Amino acid sequence: MLRRLSSLLLITAVACGGTAPSNGDSRPAAAGSTQVAEVGKETTTPSKSPSSSGPAANVPAPDPREAALAEVVLELMEKEHLLRKHIDDSMSREAFKTYLDRVDGSKMFLLKSDRDALAKYEDKIDDEMRSGSFDLAHDTNKLFAARVAVVDKMVAEILASPMDHSDEEYLELDPKKVQPAATDAELRDRWRKRLELEVMEKVAQMESRLDLDKELKKKKEDAKKGKPAAKPAPASGSAAPPSAVPPSASLDDDDEEKVTTPIAQIPTTPEGREQKAKEDLAKQYAGRFARLRHPGKLDAAADLINALTATLDPHTTYMPPADKANFDIHMSGSLEGIGAVLREREHYIEVAELVPGGASWRQGKLAAGDLILSVAAEGKEAIDVVDMRIDEVVKMIRGPKGTVVTLRVQKSTGVQEAITITRDVVVVEETYARGAILQRKTGASYGYIHLPSFYGGKGSKRSAAVDVRRLLLEMKARKVGGVIIDIRSNGGGLLNDAVDMTGSLIDQGPVVQVQDSRGRRETLSDEHKGTDYDGAVVVMVDRFSASASEIVAAALQDYGRAVIVGTGPTHGKGTVQTLADLDRATGGKVELGVLKITFQQFFRVNGGSTQREGVTPDILLPDPAGHVETGERELEHAIAWSSVPAVPHDMWSATWKIPTLAQRSKARVEKQPAFSEIAKLSQIMKARRADTKVPLAKATWEKRRKDQKAEVEAATPDLKGGTAKFTVTSVDEPSAASAGGKDDKLSRWRDSLSKDIWVDEAMNILGDMTKS
């Protein structure tokens, strides 16, 4: 039974959320400030308190489905979850803290007295689940809606009043470092500071657009006069794919915003620009507050249930029913149009992952962990989507192939960026494994296989394991000196394909152990004799390699079959989730939604788990995303690492020694300027994350912004330009005729790969392995 279930489940890094704030962390502002604290949630908060003034809100009455929902969710949590914990007062108290963070993690709505009034429910969440009466959730709904009305009025008044940008004061952006406001006056002052910062940010964006317009006009004038365009400074070191350094590395990455903002809409005077910024913010906040005061029918219950499931692990979540048109979104979060997987993450919509080959993946700017702030259809005004329901955002993002949508997103560092994407269907060839032969001017050639995910399954014409096997046989036939298997940023996929792919490189034996909530354990093995490729292998990983990727890397490492090369430990997701259709509990008569529940855990051949710890590379290289706090180990309530007995397996007869390979690689990396710059940039960005106090005096703020931008630019290596390190010849490259003409995407991929300094070093390591 365990084997059959394992073969059917998708193992994906659904919650690779280290790039997104956890409960209570900073969240984006509606319009412009960097790393501004979060504003509140589309869900809710409690009963009458002294501060609950303001107009009556349209909060829904308790939903009649809640009793049935509570019963079935509680049973699944206690009997089917991997931990099989009894839901008691202790878990209730932990869930209560999480619940308040979900409701108002930013501390921008509820007063201390409001939170104190809710404290009577602190140890009663378990009791409410058993009774099916969500009193805490509905009291919270009423209180939060009333507080939104109070804050709505505050914000409108502040934005309608003059602002003083000369005061030497600061705004703390990290809500964990501030206490809940004791009075409305204190809360109003907190909002005043926040809005002053947002106004300065919006004005700065407009002024950047004006500066760019001047620059473009000058270039046109110089072109007419026959003057040559200024050439960019020469690259420092080698280059790598655009994905190698996060787009958020630049503090002022506003180029697209500058291009898309019409000049005619920008006032010519500083006073006019500030007034426009205030008017824009007033409009955006008014829309957001209106949505906050009208939660969905099951939102109150969903927030409370998810606060409770979060105490078990970060991947067990309840999803209320979606409308029939968006049922597929409700089940998986997959969006047609831009090729992204989205999820609701507290107060905002987060990009969980990009569909390989999809429009966003090919465009190259949207990234997992990005928080979507607004959506603008072509030729229309942007609509603020913070605190908007995911199905509403989906409807705005979807559209026919060839049409354009612009998303304003916040990157993991707090930098905001406008990203314009042309909607399209997934390009199948880019979804699949891709092979190439890498050749320097002298020396051996090496095979290269890029695997974006472990695809396949029922109804699929292709599978990852079969495609990789075909490429390995091709590499063997070409007698390459070794093969690089690149599973960087591969978030996972089908378990069976991970087992079969490992089997192509080992001669029979166990690959992974799987254990369920009842302690039943099964070993999944490669049962086929022989290998498809027996030469030297390097597997490239990074901190975004997860689930099935980690199974492959761990197994090949345990066998000594391959050298694992990466920029840090992999993601560390060693658990499996399944979707429980809650409607079945009522015989399909009532729509209750879906519970995604963690019910299995993986263990390596050596008995250790990949959970939390991930797979540590044999050879470490500088990490371009080292400043990003990501991975299972960063998530609250992540299931602990554990181990089981190892299973017998035959080690590969390797001729190389890992310590020797690592020492030689380190010596080369230390001489590579680009690697040194990447390490320096990572340290700068780490320091930037810790600097959460922002000056509000305009002159001080502008200097800080300018200095930060200059510091980042000085430390950022040119990883897009430069010369190729090696030639790239695609394997099974489609002809121009079959591709319908020149394949620019494939050409760009080859060009980007030829400048990848990480792949270049992997080739060096392969050379050392074959010389050993």
Looking at residue 360, its amino acid is: S
Looking at residue 464, its amino acid is: A
User: How far apart (Å, rounded) are the C-alpha atoms in residues 284 and 426?
Assistant: 33
User: How far apart (Å, rounded) are the C-alpha atoms in residues 638 and 610?
Assistant: 12
For the residues of 179-214, what is the DSSP string, one character each? PPPSSHHHHHHHHHHHHHHHHHHHHHHHHHHHHHHH
Q: What would the two tokens of residue 527 be?
A: 């049962």
User: How far apart (Å, rounded) are the C-alpha atoms in residues 99 and 705?
Assistant: 35
Q: What would the two tokens of residue 623 be?
A: 């990490």
CB count within 10 Å of CB 664 equals 16
The vertex-388 CA angle with 54 and 170, nearest 5°, equals: 65
Q: Which residues are part of the catalytic machinery? A: 547, 558, 573
Where do we find the tokens 């979807």? Answer: 398
Sign of CA dihedral 141, 147, 150, 152: negative
- Cβ neighbors of 750 (< 8 A, separation 6 or more) are 436, 728, 730
User: How far apart (Å, rounded) are the C-alpha atoms in residues 379 and 202?
Assistant: 20
Q: What would the two tokens of residue 303 be?
A: 């927030």
User: How far apart (Å, rounded) are the C-alpha atoms in residues 718 and 542?
Assistant: 21
CB 624 within 8 A of CB 244: yes
User: How far apart (Å, rounded) are the C-alpha atoms in residues 301 and 320?
Assistant: 9
Q: Which of 280, 320, 265, 276 is nearest to 298 (CA)?
A: 320
CB 505 within 8 A of CB 447: no
Looking at residue 302, its amino acid is: A
Q: Which of 297, 315, 238 is nearest to 69 (CA)?
A: 297
Report in angstroms the alpha-carbon separations of 8 from 325, 331, 577. Answer: 26, 16, 11
Angle between helices 464-477 and 495-503 (to 10 degrees): 20
Q: Which of 474, 482, 476, 523 is nearest to 649 (CA)?
A: 523
Q: Which of 67, 172, 46 is nearest to 118 (CA)?
A: 46
Q: What would the two tokens of residue 398 be?
A: 């979807």
Where do we find the tokens 């219950």? Answer: 301
Where do we find the tokens 């999809």? Answer: 358
Q: What would the two tokens of residue 335 be?
A: 């969006």
User: How far apart (Å, rounded) are the C-alpha atoms in residues 304 and 310?
Assistant: 10
Half-sphere exposure (Cβ direction) of 17: Cα atoms closer than 13 Å = 23
| Three-class DSSP category at 509 | strand
